[in-house]
């Protein structure tokens, strides 16, 4: 093995709350999905730096109900574990049901229906001890209003508890102790926690004990991971980590972090891509405590003893709709109405049947797309409206949630075809630009979104070569820090239809990683 440099984040875009497990030479990561369907994307890697989305754990309505789910609710932080031939994923649906477990023999295949757990809180985690006991932990309250970590023993296949849940920790002094993960290393049990909230005070702490139920002593070097006080200004908010060993004595942690979109000196802290997944090496002190990263810090370029030669990776996404199924990188808003989405491989098109539900509602409009993977991207698609459906809107949207989105779309109203640009920020929704086009031009129109650190630009072309800019919107309008309520997600680049139907072809999102 040799030290190799790698680029962070290893899973860019909206992929928060990562959890990792190793099975032989294979590594798997799951991340949160909130109000998006399917739930809990799962990634595979052999080199720890290039990750492929191989599926989603929650792909059926019986596993994931998002009806009435508010923005940034739904599925919170998952944990992934492997034991005795089975993969287990536990998470919380905060919009209905609480904590549950699903399991599978094949992480690329179907997962079980939920096994519901009679223990409240969020951020559940599983720990399989050497003696066969299985421990379930979650971040909860103790009945007197104090945030704590609850733990119980259970059967992960049935959810049956063996005894009452017990408080094992109140954290190490930071607010909101959460994201608990238990590990047995040698004869000691280590409890890893996220503290300080998931914003700019985020950090990771460690405790250890002789028994899973404690008592736990705090690490004298806490926090073992944080960006607090880091003046480099490249990565922020690191925390919610999970660790694994590579089978050769080297330890690694994945954690969430934030890259701010402002690049100029003195810019405010704003991020639009969401919380992303970072990889940091872990070293152990002589007295047996883990320290993550470069003296507790994470950076955009790091190095370590990676377990395998790095594979080629690409963030670009293309779909000509010649295949009969959707890529696992696609997401829908809440539970989609499947009859509104039809891939037509023979014609290399996607048919979207828009309903009266619009992007401005916390519901499930006809909408499908991928997470914006980098600050600088170009998203394009060709759109053709179904004949003579008055009032239809069909196009591309840069979407954060129902109160924060920009879109460019083709519309047909009162016998006229138009391309229009609209913005929704807070409680203001307005069409700010438009252009009339002919019926023949409408048959060949392409729409484009060019994303940037400071501005999104929206344009159209009738010949596929020359694009006319129709409008722009500040990136700040799609940033987490500017929303009216607490939010945890990131921007998507998506196709959509409202009030009528349309055919889409040649959808692509090209990312510029050099910026």
Instruction: Provide the 3-class DSSP secondary structure of residue 46.
Output: coil
Distance CA 290, CA 137 (A): 21
Distance CA 163, CA 157 (A): 17
Distance CA 100, CA 94 (A): 11
Distance CA 460, CA 470 (A): 7
Q: Is 136:90 a contact under the CB 8 Å cutoff? A: yes
Distance CA 370, CA 393 (A): 20
Instruction: From the candidates 35, 47, 153, 178, give the one annotated as an active-site residue.
Output: 178
Provide DSSP, 492-507.
Answer: EEEEEEESSEEEEEEE
**CA angle, 323 as apex, 318 and 324 as ends, to 5°?**
130
Instruction: From the candidates 17, 123, 204, 407, give the one annotated as an active-site residue.
Output: 17
Distance CA 33, CA 331 (A): 9
Mean pLDDT on 163-184: 95
Domain regions of the chain by residue span: 3-305, 317-512
Q: Is 17 a catalytic residue?
A: yes
At residue 312, the pLDDT reads: 67
CATH number listed for the domain at residues 317-512: 2.60.120.200
Using the Cα atoms of residue 265, residue 267, residue 271 and residue 277 in order, give the sign of their dihedral.
Answer: positive
Mean pLDDT on 376-398: 96
At residue 1, the pLDDT reads: 65
Distance CA 154, CA 164 (A): 10
| Cα first-last separation, the chain | 31
Instruction: Provide the 3-class DSSP secondary structure of residue 344.
Output: strand
In order of 48, 324, 382, 406, 443, the CA distances from 320 in angstroms are: 30, 11, 10, 24, 17
Going along 131-201, which residue ranges are E strands? 134-141, 147-153, 166-169, 178-185, 188-195
Residue 81 has pLDDT above 60, yes or no: yes
For 261-301, what is each residue's pLDDT tens digit? 975 555 678 999 999 999 999 999 999 999 999 889 999 99
Residue 377 has pLDDT above 80, yes or no: yes
Distance CA 172, CA 34 (A): 28
Instruction: Provide the 3-class DSSP secondary structure of residue 352.
Output: strand
In order of 116, 176, 236, the CA distances from 201 in angstroms are: 32, 11, 9
At residue 296, the pLDDT reads: 93
Q: Tokens in use for 132?
A: 């066969």
Mean pLDDT on 444-451: 97
What backbone phi and psi angles, to 5 degrees, belong to 347? -100, 5
Going along 414-462, which residue ranges are E strands? 416-425, 428-437, 446-450, 455-461
Residue 382 has pLDDT above 90, yes or no: yes
Distance CA 183, CA 192 (A): 8
At residue 233, the pLDDT reads: 84
For 137-155, what is each residue's pLDDT tens digit? 999 999 888 999 999 999 9
For 83-133, what is each residue's pLDDT tens digit? 999 999 999 999 999 999 999 999 999 999 999 999 999 999 999 999 999
Mean pLDDT on 461-472: 95
Q: Is 178 a catalytic residue?
A: yes
- What predicted TM-score, i.e. pTM, was given to this entire model? 0.96
At residue 3, the pLDDT reads: 86
Q: Residue holding tokens 């704590």?
A: 148
Q: Tokens in use for 114?
A: 């939920």
Fold of 3-305: Tachylectin-2; Chain A (2.115.10)
At residue 269, the pLDDT reads: 87
In order of 323, 330, 381, 395, the CA distances from 346 in angstroms are: 9, 21, 18, 22
């Amino acid at each position: 093995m040799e030290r190799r440099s790698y680029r962070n984040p290893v899973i860019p875009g909206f992929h928060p709350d990562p959890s990792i497990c190793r099975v032989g030479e294979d590594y798997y990561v799951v991340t949160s999905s909130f109000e998006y369907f399917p739930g809990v994307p799962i990634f595979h890697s052999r080199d720890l730096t290039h990750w492929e989305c191989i599926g989603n754990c929650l792909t059926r309505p019986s596993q994931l109900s998002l009806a009435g789910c508010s923005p940034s609710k739904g599925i919170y932080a998952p944990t992934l574990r492997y034991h005795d031939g089975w993969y287990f994923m536990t998470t919380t649906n905060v919009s209905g049901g609480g904590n549950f477990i699903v399991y599978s023999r094949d992480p690329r295949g179907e997962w079980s229906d939920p096994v519901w757990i009679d223990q409240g809180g969020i951020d559940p985690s599983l720990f399989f001890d050497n003696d066969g006991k299985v421990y379930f932990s979650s971040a909860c309250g103790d009945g007197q209003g104090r945030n704590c970590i609850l733990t119980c023993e259970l059967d992960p296949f049935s959810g049956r508890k063996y005894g009452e849940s017990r408080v094992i920790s109140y954290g190490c002094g930071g607010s909101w102790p959460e994201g608990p993960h238990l590990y047995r290393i040698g004869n000691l049990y280590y409890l890893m926690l996220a503290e300080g909230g998931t914003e700019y005070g985020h950090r990771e702490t460690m405790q250890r004990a002789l028994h899973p139920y404690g008592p736990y002593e705090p690490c004298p070097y806490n926090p073992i991971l944080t960006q607090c006080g880091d003046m480099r200004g490249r990565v922020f908010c690191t925390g919610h980590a999970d660790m694994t060993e590579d089978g050769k004595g080297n330890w690694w942690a994945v954690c969430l972090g934030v890259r701010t979109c402002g690049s100029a000196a003195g810019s405010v802290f704003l991020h639009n891509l969401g919380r992303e997944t970072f990889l940091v090496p872990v070293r152990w002190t002589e007295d047996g405590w883990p320290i993550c990263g470069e003296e507790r810090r994470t950076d955009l370029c790091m190095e370590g003893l990676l377990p395998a030669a790095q594979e080629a990776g690409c963030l670009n996404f293309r779909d000509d709709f010649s295949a009969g199924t959707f890529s696992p990188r696609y997401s829908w808003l809440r539970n989609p109405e499947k009859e509104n989405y039809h891939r037509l491989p023979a014609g290399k098109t996607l048919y979207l049947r828009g309903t009266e539900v619009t992007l401005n509602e916390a519901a499930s409009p006809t909408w499908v797309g991928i997470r914006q993977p980098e600050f600088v991207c170009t998203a394009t698609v060709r759109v053709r409206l179904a004949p003579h459906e008055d009032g239809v809107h069909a196009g591309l949207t840069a979407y954060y949630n129902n109160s924060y989105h920009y879109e460019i779309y083709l519309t047909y109203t009162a016998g006229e075809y138009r391309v229009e640009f609209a913005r929704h920020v807070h409680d203001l929704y307005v069409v700010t630009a438009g252009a009339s086009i002919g019926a023949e031009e409408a048959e060949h129109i392409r729409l484009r979104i060019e994303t940037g650190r400071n501005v999104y630009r929206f344009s159209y072309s009738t010949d596929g070569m020359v694009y006319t800019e129709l409008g722009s919107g500040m990136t700040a309008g799609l940033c987490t820090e500017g929303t009216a309520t607490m939010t945890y997600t990131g921007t998507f680049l998506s196709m959509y239809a409202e009030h009528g139907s349309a055919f889409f072809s040649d959808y692509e999102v090209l990312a510029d990683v050099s910026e």
